[in-house]
Structure 1
Amino acid sequence: MVRLLAFHVRRDWIFAVPLWVLLLGAGAVGSYLQLRYIRELANVTNGLVVSNRPAVVAALTGAVVFIVLTAIHHGLQSALAYTLRIRIRTALTGELLRRWLGGRGFYRPLQDHALDHPEQRVQEDVYNFGLYLIQLAPALVTSATTFYLYSNQLWLLSSPLPVSMPSGGQIIIPRALYVLAIATAIVATLSAHLIGRIYTRLDVVRQRIEAGFRHDLGQAREFAEQIVLGGGQALEEARARHDYALIRRNWRPYTGSAASLEAVRVLITLLASVIPTVLLFPLVLAGKMQVGDLTIAGVAFGAVFHAFGSISTNYDGFALLRSASQRIQLMDESLSYEQSSGFVHAAADRPEFAVRDLEVRTAAGHKLFSIDKLTIGAGERWLVRGMSGSGKSTFFRVMSGIWPFGSGTVEHPSQGSRVMFLPQKPYLPNGTLAELLSYPSPSDAFAPADYRAVLTDIRLERLIGDIGAARSWAKRLSPGEQQRVVLARALLQKPDFLFLDEATSSLDPKTEAAMFDVLARRLPDTSLVTIAHTDRLTRYHSHQLQIENGGVTIAELKGAAEGALINQSERSHND
């Protein structure tokens, strides 16, 4: 918690320091205004008892003044609080997004399953951290100020209290009201802490299973068509009901801890509210204390009790603040963890990929395959074959540098070479069609004519009129159309090395052939590495890498790529 607050202050110190000073100072001012208001009300009561009209009018006038000042004060304090909340959230969200999405850091924590629901931590937990921090920090300052201001009042109104002992003797409690206020607050704080520890732990569990429930429901919505076509509605309903059953199971002890915490807090608070009256009403009846002074004593006792026991009265807020800060810090620690890689990645002095003594393993340590030596040179076109599960996609991950499990050396093309990987499952975020086609570059990186040209190349001319239209394209386009959109990205980016992981698996043979003809025509100098299960793509490649039985077989496909290039104009003409 302190570390997160310190980060915010360091990152935004020009505004954070004065805003915090003003907000905490506003809490102290609020305590002073409250004390002055209570004194005016006491003067009203004392004036009424003795029928002193001028005193009552003067006290009421003063009370109205402090009511107006208090209202203005609360408005300004609220504005300061909301300003600080958004600045705290901006600082923490920006840092988490930078570390999570700014590089490849978000891939490995998810790969190792060390971080559950990071999106909830960025959105909800950061929001809650700012909310409860801004609520509780000024409350503590207000409590300290209140304790200071009201302690003197309570001390002066406190008198010794004789207490009879079972043995027949008597002890005298000096300044009984003051001592009882402190003692009651200590009991309340200890009780709240004992119960609140359980509440905090259960709230962390609640947030985790709530996030899982929300994730599964969102997944059912995202894959609604696949679920309906596969007849999986009953299974998805059962899954959702199971998630909710976990919520209900946790809710029972969660409710018990929350109810116990609230009951203890209310019980002690109500007892504290009657203690001044019980101790002081004999003095009022004996004429030794005015009714207004009894009012001040009651308010002062309550103020000292709440100020000294502010942790108990706000324990649920502290518990939620601690829960949010723990989840944020866990994400921070997870993103800070660097998975040691057995691979050595280096930059080559030539425009080529080169691997030596490569041994690729699963995350569990099982060997997939090994390669003694492999070079993918400029302009070469490689076909990667192998049975499902043999490690073809993992080979691509090794080449990209995101797979850490294994050993060997991978030399990447010389600086300035552009490398692009296209997975089998396209990623189409919501946005305009131009933004989808230009991804990961901004849409203004290419001219409208470029978009029209690539849409024509991938046989989606009907979408030319929708280039600037924002749609949920992942739902509007078929799987084959989505794969063609992703291929269009390569046509726009013109990479030096293009890796295709079954990137045309959803296309019919004729359309697939047309797409590879386009790649050959539009990207003649691009090195192409393709994972495929079909023989149809053999003629578009010059080399083959066969992964089988834990090893690889490398072969030249002589004349294949040349034949594809020679026949491309004829095919384009026939199409």
Structure 2
Amino acid sequence: MSSTPTSVTVPGPAVPARALKIQSRLRMSATWALIKPYWKSDDRLAGLGLLALVVVLNLGIVYINVLLNEWNRVFYNALEQRDYASFKVLLVRFSWIAAFFIVAAISRQYYTMMLQMRWRTWMTGRFMGHWLGHQAYYRIEQTHATDNPDQRISDDLRQFTDGALSLSLGLLNSVVTLLSFVGILWTVSGPISFALGGTEWTIPGYMVWFAAGYAVIGSLVAHVVGRPLIGLNFQQEQYEADFRFTLVRLRENSEPVALYRGEPTEQAGLRARFDRIRANWNQLMRYTRRLTFVSSGYAQFAIIFPILVAAPRYFAGKMTLGGLMQTSSAFGQVQGALSWFVDSYATLVGWKAAANRLIDFQEAIRIAERQDESLHGTRDIEVAHTGQPQGGITVDGLALALPVRSARSAAVGQRPLVSPFSLSVAPGERWLVSGPSGCGKSVLFRALAGIWPYGSGTVTMPEGARMLFLPQRSYLPIGTLADALAYPDAGTEHSAEVLQAALRQARLAALADQLDVFDNWSLRLSPGEQQRLAFARALLQKPDYLFLDEATSALDEDTEGAMYRLMVESLPRAAIISIAHRSTVAAFHGKRLRYVPQDGEAAQAAQAGLPGVSYRVVCEA
């Protein structure tokens, strides 16, 4: 077998220029809608208190800079006059000013980080609540409305809150600095006079106008050069998350990949995904190089620019050395304040890319939440409760459909799958659901669980009925075996004796002494052990309605029969509804729900595995 990686096509081509242009938009109103809710939340008082403290510390640092500016004038005048006594006094004064500056800077950083974490904590809770609410996380995956929600909740939220605070506080600091130093620069720079066209012109506070013009030109150039970085950063985060997800998926499926000898294909797929990262990174390098050229050149020339502009007055004897240094310092503060946009542009584009990803993620969540309402003129599947604890499940006019995502928009349409049918399941009944693969048997279970919005009809449940769904591969959380067994309850809600008894009944006696072992049980246990663990979970949950979706597919016939007998004997009043292909399972069920194609032509298409086939349901007692 060759070890040379094969060529593979990775889903998700590079984002086209039009999409990149959309991702580069500023979308300020939507960004403000992300920022505003925290400052109106229950945590707003603590947040506003920290923000006020940070603002006061910022103002204090600006005031210290004003003192340092004045100190520059006096200090360099003392050097020019060789005044040693004043020189010593000024050094002591500088020590005190520097000490206060260090304390203020450290405090500002500390409380800014505290505010960042409070804001991030609140936003993370809010996004997770909406993502997990209404099964939005499930519906987003069904329609592929957005990519890598885990990365958006973890990385993008962190970058958004950190960037919002650092940029806004930096802007505030620049405004206050500008207001504090513009008067100083206006006074110390004085007027400049020159002749133009035979007319004498005088510009008062000319250094202020030079600083403003210098900053405006630099800001415009930086924006023109650096704006594409917003879309490129957006793409880079997406590609990095795709690559990381593929690595995690390979780790979780290491055994089947090893059995298939699939390493060359996996390596080729990983390389292809990384090539997308590298290609986008190359574009980032080019645009970042241009932006760095602009910002670095801008910053370096700003060092000498005020000296060049003020030099004529100094050499004319109209300004002392101290005045020259004070002018240079004040010009630097004013120019730096006006240059906030240039200096912060690299941070701004990264923050805006994270904000755009969060905006898209929030919109995907809202679309998922709206799927409880009407979709394209058809009514959703309504799951209601009778208000009575007794009685069974009643299905009335239930039609099932599949989602169809438009290639031209984010709209989600529907393709009919199962024509309307009615059904009644009483307590203690045993139903077997059978039919060709892909006919919609699992979709029926999802509709009964209330998580499938595509189709129409009504499902009525008895009030307070406990329902448990065991899919072919049950979810096992990372944690102790007790937590995996009792899920969604905590392992501590059941005694060790009860948990051990359930394991033994499910033929997992070898695991009875490992309840406190922490592990990734979905990787440690074999598929058959995982399915038996799910049956042990059913013994703990004691559901009124137990739905088994090929829940014994990994078991031998003897163990399969033992698990079904265990359910029938341990849960005599529970209704059991099973999806299974083995004929041996039928012996444990008294009724059948059979899926058949709509007509003969559809039957042939179904046998050939062609898409677009619709089915009808036949109930057999």
Task: Tell me how far apart the structure 2 counterparts of residues 351 and 41 of structure 1 sit (CA, whole Å).
Answer: 88
Q: For residues 519-555 of structure 1, give each alpha carbon's deviation from its aligned partner in whole angstroms, at most 9, with x where no partner exists.
A: 1111111110000000111111111111111112221
- In the alignment, structure 1 residue 47 sits paired with structure 2 residue 85: no
Match of 2:616 among 551, 566, 574: 551
Task: Tell me how far apart the structure 2 counterparts of residues 498 and 207 of structure 1 sit (CA, whole Å).
Answer: 42
Q: What displacement does 1:394 show?
A: 0.8
Contact 2:226 2:290 (C-alpha < 8 Å) held by counterparts: no
| Residue number in structure 1 paired with 2:556 | 508
- In the alignment, structure 1 residue 388 sits paired with structure 2 residue 437: yes
| Residue number in structure 2 paired with 1:562 | none
Task: Tell me how far apart the structure 2 counterparts of residues 533 and 480 of structure 1 sit (CA, whole Å).
Answer: 17
Q: Secondary structure at the match of 2:146?
A: coil
Question: Partner amino acid for 2:156?
Answer: D
Q: What displacement does 1:249 show?
A: 1.4
Contact 2:69 2:330 (C-alpha < 8 Å) held by counterparts: no
Q: What displacement does 1:32 show?
A: 1.0
Which stretch shifts more, 152-161 or 245-254?
Answer: 152-161
Q: What displacement does 1:160 show?
A: 3.6
| Residue number in structure 2 paired with 1:346 | 384
Which stretch shifts more, 372-381 or 170-179?
Answer: 170-179
Contact 1:351 1:417 (C-alpha < 8 Å) held by counterparts: no
Q: What displacement does 1:174 show?
A: 3.7
Q: For residues 158-193 of structure 1, give each alpha carbon's deviation from its aligned partner in whole angstroms, at most 9, with x where no partner exists.
A: 24445676x787754443211010011111111222
TM-score after normalising by structure 2: 0.86
Q: For residues 223-253 of structure 1, give each alpha carbon's deviation from its aligned partner in whole angstroms, at most 9, with x where no partner exists.
A: 1111111121111111111111111211222
Question: Partner amino acid for 1:71?
Answer: I
Trace 1:168-207 onto structure 2 (pairs within 5 A). Answer: 172-207=202-237
Question: Partner amino acid for 2:35?
Answer: L
Contact 2:75 2:90 (C-alpha < 8 Å) held by counterparts: yes
Contact 1:27 1:139 (C-alpha < 8 Å) held by counterparts: no
Which stretch shifts more, 250-259 or 169-178?
Answer: 169-178
Q: Which runs of no fewer than 5 residues in structure 2 stay unpaired?
A: 1-30, 374-378, 405-413, 598-614
Question: Partner amino acid for 1:331?
Answer: F
Q: Secondary structure at the match of 1:499?
A: strand
Question: Partner amino acid for 2:72?
Answer: L
Question: Partner amino acid for 2:315?
Answer: L
- In the alignment, structure 1 residue 522 sits paired with structure 2 residue 562: no
Q: Secondary structure at the match of 1:276?
A: helix
| Residue number in structure 1 paired with 2:425 | 376
Task: Tell me how far apart the structure 2 counterparts of residues 164 and 253 of structure 1 sit (CA, whole Å).
Answer: 49
Match of 1:491 among 536, 539, 549: 539
- In the alignment, structure 1 residue 267 sits paired with structure 2 residue 297: yes
| Residue number in structure 2 paired with 1:570 | none
1:164–1:474 distance in 2 versus 1, CA, 3 Å: farther
Which stretch shifts more, 253-262 or 121-130?
Answer: 253-262
| Residue number in structure 2 paired with 1:104 | 135
Q: What displacement does 1:448 show?
A: 1.2
Trace 1:112-151 onto structure 2 (pairs within 5 A). Answer: 112-151=143-182
Contact 2:468 2:546 (C-alpha < 8 Å) held by counterparts: yes
TM-score after normalising by structure 1: 0.93
| Residue number in structure 1 paired with 2:458 | 409
Q: In angstroms, what is the RMSD of aligned CA positions?
A: 1.6
| Residue number in structure 2 paired with 1:19 | 50
Task: Tell me how far apart the structure 2 counterparts of residues 272 and 180 of structure 1 sit (CA, whole Å).
Answer: 11
Q: Secondary structure at the match of 2:459?
A: strand
Match of 1:399 among 448, 452, 461: 448
Q: What displacement does 1:366 show?
A: 3.0
Task: Tell me how far apart the structure 2 counterparts of residues 47 and 20 of structure 1 sit (CA, whole Å).
Answer: 40
Q: For residues 32-67 of structure 1, give each alpha carbon's deviation from its aligned partner in whole angstroms, at most 9, with x where no partner exists.
A: 112212322332221111111221112111110011
Q: Which runs of no fewer than 5 residues in structure 1 stay unpaired?
A: 557-575
Contact 1:43 1:56 (C-alpha < 8 Å) held by counterparts: no
- Identity among equivalent positions (%) equals 32
Question: Partner amino acid for 1:347?
Answer: H
Q: What displacement does 1:132 show?
A: 1.3
Q: What displacement does 1:473 show?
A: 1.2
Q: What displacement does 1:308 show?
A: 1.5
Task: Tell me how far apart the structure 2 counterparts of residues 210 and 216 of structure 1 sit (CA, whole Å).
Answer: 10
Match of 2:271 among 226, 241, 264: 241
Question: Partner amino acid for 2:544?
Answer: D
| Residue number in structure 2 paired with 1:72 | 103
Contact 1:435 1:442 (C-alpha < 8 Å) held by counterparts: yes
Question: Partner amino acid for 1:342?
Answer: D
Task: Tell me how far apart the structure 2 counterparts of residues 281 and 366 of structure 1 sit (CA, whole Å).
Answer: 78
Match of 1:213 among 222, 239, 243: 243
